[in-house]
Amino acid sequence: MVHDLGCGTGAMGRWLEPLLPGRQHWVLHDRDPDLLVLAAADLPGPAADGAAVTVEATQSDITRLHPGDLADATLITASALLDLLTEDELAGLLTVCAGAGCPMLLTLSVVGHVDLTPADPLDRDVAAAFDAHQRRTVEGRRLLGPDAVALAVEECGRLGAEILVRPTPWRLGAAQADLAAEWFTGWVGAACEQQVELTAETDVYARRRLAQAAAGQLAVTVDHADLLVLPDERRISPR
């Protein structure tokens, strides 16, 4: 039983499910019912060895999960989620997940480092404003942003679990020019939302960078980290 927390459109399942052997039942968790419909409809099959894959969608707030909600889990996954949590939410979620006694695969957490080539004097200012946006306070919730990975490592140590951290950078070059342009537009937009005074400075900057991307002259590396959390005794209890 695989529980995918904050599944969104189901990208984690589309990537991981065909790589795993054996019968699989995926439980998709998300607050957004429309995303759940998309995710449940688009999970591929069969498994790596041809075994059947089934799926169910569960509309839920993953910050309010109880131990019983994950009691049947043999694997817990989440993608691009940790940096959207607060410190208390992260600690609570990891505690509940650790109680399931199974591995956790937590992927694509931002770590606060972006590199653009060729370099530009405004890169550093935009990056700093973007990181501040990632750490912004939303409805009284201060998001962790790039601090999430370090806090997750600390919390897993407190829970007695082993955690392996590996870098998983996005590398976008000429072959991914459209994606690089889309990422850049969102990156600058978030930075200017956080620091409005940047807007005037980034107008020409953005046009120059987008022209570079369209010409295949812009290379972008966006650092992320993946975490594999192994329960105490490194084994999965029989289900």
Question: Which three-class secondary structure string do you get for 104-121?
Answer: EEEEEEEEEEEEEECCCC
CA 179/CA 181 separation, integer angstroms: 5
144-194 pLDDT, tens digit per residue, is 999 999 999 999 999 999 999 999 999 999 999 999 999 999 999 999 999
DSSP 52: -
12 burial (CB, 10 Å; 0-12 / 13-18 / 19+) is buried
- What is the pLDDT, as a whole number, of residue 43? 80
Through-space distance between the first and last CA atoms of the chain, rounded to whole angstroms: 9
CA 18/CA 45 separation, integer angstroms: 7
Half-sphere exposure of 126 (CA within 13 A, CB side): 23
Phi-psi region of 9 (alpha: psi -120 to 50; beta: other; left: phi over 0): alpha
> Quick one: pLDDT band at residue 239, thresholds 50, 70, 90?
very low
CA 234/CA 219 separation, integer angstroms: 40
17-68 pLDDT, tens digit per residue, is 999 999 999 999 999 999 999 999 988 779 999 999 999 999 999 999 999 9
Class of 61-234 in CATH: alpha beta
pLDDT for 235 beyond 80: no
191-212 pLDDT, tens digit per residue, is 999 999 999 999 999 999 999 9
Mean pLDDT over 212-237 rounds to: 86
164 burial (CB, 10 Å; 0-12 / 13-18 / 19+) is exposed
- What is the pLDDT, as a whole number, of residue 234? 45
What is the chain's percent helix, strand, coil content, to nearest 5? 45, 25, 30
- What is the pLDDT, as a whole number, of residue 37? 95
The three-class DSSP label of residue 5 is strand
Backbone torsions φ then ψ of 138, nearest 5 degrees:
-120, 115
> Quick one: pLDDT band at residue 125, thresholds 50, 70, 90?
very high
- What is the pLDDT, as a whole number, of residue 237? 44
> Domain residues of the chain, as ranges?
61-234
> Quick one: pLDDT band at residue 238, thresholds 50, 70, 90?
very low
DSSP 78: E
Mean pLDDT over 116-137 rounds to: 97
**Average pLDDT over the chain, rounded to an integer:** 94
- What is the pLDDT, as a whole number, of residue 232? 73
Backbone torsions φ then ψ of 114, nearest 5 degrees:
-130, 140
- What is the pLDDT, as a whole number, of residue 231? 87
- What is the pLDDT, as a whole number, of residue 233? 61
CA 165/CA 188 separation, integer angstroms: 28
Task: Please count the other Cβ atoms lying within 10 Å of the Cβ belonging to residue 149.
Answer: 22
